[in-house]
Amino acid sequence: MSSSSQDRTVDVIIIGAGPTGENVADRAVQGGLTAAIVERELVGGECSYWACMPTKALLRDAAALRAAKALPAAGKAITGTLDAEAVFARRDQFTSGWKDAGQVEWLTGAGITLVRGHGRITGTRTVTVTDSDGTTTNLQARQAVVIATGTSALTPPVPGLDEADPWTNREAAAATSVPDRLAIIGGGVVGVEMATAFSALGSQVTLISRSRLLAGVEEFAGEHVADALRTYGVSVLLDRDASEVRRDDTGEVHLTLSDGAEVTADEVLVATGRVPNTKDLGLEHVGLTPGKWLAVDDALAVVDDSGRLEDGWLYAAGDINHRALLTHHGKYQARALGDLIAARARGEEPDLSTWGRHAATADERAVTQVIFTDPEVVAVGHTAASAEAAGIEVGVVDYDLGSIAGASLHADGYRGQARMVIDEQRKVLVGFTAVGPDISELLHAATIAIVGEVPLDRLWHAVPAYPTISEIWLRLLETAGRDR
Ligand SMILES: Cc1cc2nc3c(=O)[nH]c(=O)nc-3n(C[C@H](O)[C@H](O)[C@H](O)COP(=O)(O)OP(=O)(O)OC[C@H]3O[C@@H](n4cnc5c(N)ncnc54)[C@H](O)[C@@H]3O)c2cc1C
Ligand SMILES: NC(=O)c1ccc[n+]([C@@H]2O[C@H](COP(=O)([O-])OP(=O)(O)OC[C@H]3O[C@@H](n4cnc5c(N)ncnc54)[C@H](O)[C@@H]3O)[C@@H](O)[C@H]2O)c1
């Protein structure tokens, strides 16, 4: 093992080349700074290779097939089942066979320096990178160090689980065969999306959830998803935990649940949340505790219990700051932060006012999410419960999505529901959730209404085209009443 060492100085060092890190670096370079990005695995991060893109590729064929089956004539034309090999082959195109040459080319083209290896903070504005053959590079930042190291799968301390060699999101996203029986622990977003994908690919899926499904969104959305999963043959077990797991000599996995029930499967997928990649990051050198999420201020500068850390050279963006574990919010933070670091380097005060250029206000007011189940779930901003908890005078308006003309044209037996959450004092929308087939593109209209704080009176003038599913907006407004 060689262990030579070299030194480099740049304006900004970013640790982690996931979607967040890439975008911080890009904005900083566009702002006139030099940037080095440190990556220990693949440029593109979890999202590109083991999360967003491959899992959505696993889901897409099943969604197209279901959409056709929901129409009598098109449905008659379907004579076969999903070809799992072809689904995996298409997924492989999206991960480029787990090679990052394309993303490296983009980085280089954007003028960003890539340093491969594991990065650790070793002092003020200093990062030491150790590559796979032990060579170290000492990076010094003139302006800032940004931590964008993302997360890994959390494996709960269930007796026998580790020894049973469970799948995490990585094995599920990169699967090359379909297990006959798949048990999934966790009824959050990963659990329900993977139950949808693998049941469509032919697995007999058992989904074990300690609470209702999709506890982070409005209850009705999780109920629609649970009903649909059951109709697709998934065994949905709610309000139960796995209390013991054992893989026997034949390779079968046996799960004992908290109510004493037994589940037997060929693979078990753990989908119980994420842990921050902060364990081996040198955080002790700046007085922080390794292994924890990183708290940040409005400027995304890392803070400790006593306020901003040192003189504010250390920032954290994306999953690692636990604001919103979503790629698009990581990238949103990244755009604000890259611009902020460049502004501070020019001696300018950043604009951290609400909705200001360098503020990530949407993380607090308008987190957007699409859950690619069947039916799909879209959500932005508050749920009724979170709005109430935030002290808002809440108005809730529900409407049956299936009774919209566009929805009934879209598919026979269309089922769905939509809810808008209103701030009754300000007469603006503060939340929107819907569940129904093929509604992912419905989300952005709600996002614009919330971010733009469009008065309800004015929303009446946003005329949805007939006969589209977007007419849900008209029905929600009519239900709310024009003189509300
Ligand atoms: C199964 C699954 C599906 C998902 N689907 C979606 C979706 O459809 N839409 C969506 O918006 N979000 C989705 N997410 C969430 C999304 O993946 C994350 O929000 C996103 O990847 C966060 O980006 P990031 O750049 O902050 O971190 P990551 O993508 O995790 O990237 C962090 C990078 O840092 C590197 N790194 C870590 N430590 C070091 C170190 N010490 N030195 C050098 N490099 C290091 C890692 O190797 C990694 O490449 C999904 C998550 C999962 C698990
Ligand atoms: N389409 C998307 O936008 C998308 C898709 C997948 C993941 N993601 C993001 O990735 C993140 C991780 O997803 P996730 O599903 O792993 O986490 P999650 O937090 O959404 O769900 C984890 C679930 O596991 C349960 N759980 C925790 N410990 C458990 C235990 N010991 N036994 C049984 N259940 C347990 C929790 O109660 C929760 O319901 C989420 O924040 C999500 O937003 C987004």
Output the pLDDT for position 1.
43
- pLDDT at position 305: 76
Residue to probe by mutation, ligand 2, list 170, 194, 272, 277, most atoms within 8 Å of CB: 272
| Residue among 482, 481, 460, 474 nearest 405 (CA) | 474
pLDDT computed for residue 6 by the predictor: 75
The architecture that CATH gives domain 375-480 is 2-Layer Sandwich (3.30)
The sign of the torsion formed by the CA atoms of 34, 40, 46, 47 equals positive
For 126, which DSSP code?
A: E
Q: Which pLDDT tens digit goes with each residue over 279-336? A: 999 999 998 999 999 999 999 999 987 776 767 899 999 999 999 999 999 999 999 9
pLDDT at 308: 66
Q: Which ligand is nearest to the CA of 211?
A: 2
Residue 141 — very low, low, confident or very high, per pLDDT cuts 50/70/90? very high
- Dist. CA 454–CA 366, nearest whole Å: 13
Q: Does ligand 2 come within 6 angstroms of the Cβ of 369?
A: yes
With H, G, I as helix, E, B as strand and everything else as coil, classify residue 164. helix
Distance from residue 154's CA to the centre of ligand 2 (Å):
9
User: Is the pLDDT reported for residue 2 higher than 50?
Assistant: no
Chain length of the chain: 484
The residue ranges of DSSP E strands in 258-393, in sequence order, are 262-265, 267-270, 274-276, 303-304, 307-308, 314-316, 368-371, 376-381
Q: Is 451 helix (H, G, I), strand (E, B) or coil?
A: helix
Which amino acid is it at 120? R
What superfamily would CATH give domain 162-272?
FAD/NAD(P)-binding domain (3.50.50.60)
Q: Which atom of ligand 2 lies at the shortest distance from residue 325's CA?
A: 41
Average pLDDT value for residue range 177-181: 98
> What is the per-residue pLDDT across 419-472, written as a single tens digit (0 to 9) for each?
999 999 999 999 999 999 999 999 999 999 999 999 999 999 999 999 999 999
* pLDDT higher than threshold 90 for residue 41: yes
CA of 185 to the centre of ligand 2 (A): 10
* pLDDT value for 376: 98
Interface ipTM: 0.98
Would you say the CATH fold of 162-272 matches that of 5-44+100-152+276-362?
Answer: yes
CA-proximal residue: ligand 2, atom 10 (nearest): 325
Interval 140-152 mean pLDDT: 98
Cβ atoms of residues 217 and 367 within 8 Å: no
8 A C-beta contact, residue 334 and residue 23: yes
Counting atoms of ligand 1 from 1, which one is nearest the CA of 329?
A: 11
Is 307:292 a contact under the CB 8 Å cutoff? no
Work out the average pLDDT over 136-151. Answer: 98
Residue 312: per-residue pLDDT: 84
CA of 190 to the centre of ligand 2 (A): 6
Cα-Cα end-to-end distance for the chain: 73
Nearest-atom number in ligand 1 for the CA of 280 is 41
User: Is the Cβ atom of 322 under 6 angstroms away from ligand 2?
Assistant: no
The domain segmentation of the chain, as residue ranges, is 5-44+100-152+276-362, 162-272, 375-480
5 phi, psi to nearest 5 deg: -145, 145
Q: Is residue 5 pLDDT above 80, yes or no?
A: no
Tell me how far the alpha carbon of residue 456 lies from the centroid of ligand 1, in angstroms: 37
Residue type, 351: D
pTM for this predicted structure: 0.97
> Atom 9 in ligand 1: which residue has the minimum CA distance?
52
- Token representation of residue 410: 């879209």
Pocket of ligand 1 (CB under 6 A): 15-21, 38-41, 45-47, 51-52, 55-56, 118-119, 148-151, 169, 173, 190, 277, 281, 318-319, 325-328, 330
The CATH label, of 3.20.20.70, 3.40.190.10, 3.50.50.60, 3.40.30.10, for the domain at 5-44+100-152+276-362 is: 3.50.50.60
* 126/140 Cα distance (integer angstroms): 5
**Ligand 2 atom at minimum distance from 242 CA:** 32
d(CA 40, CA 17): 9
Tokens 């979170």 locate to: 386
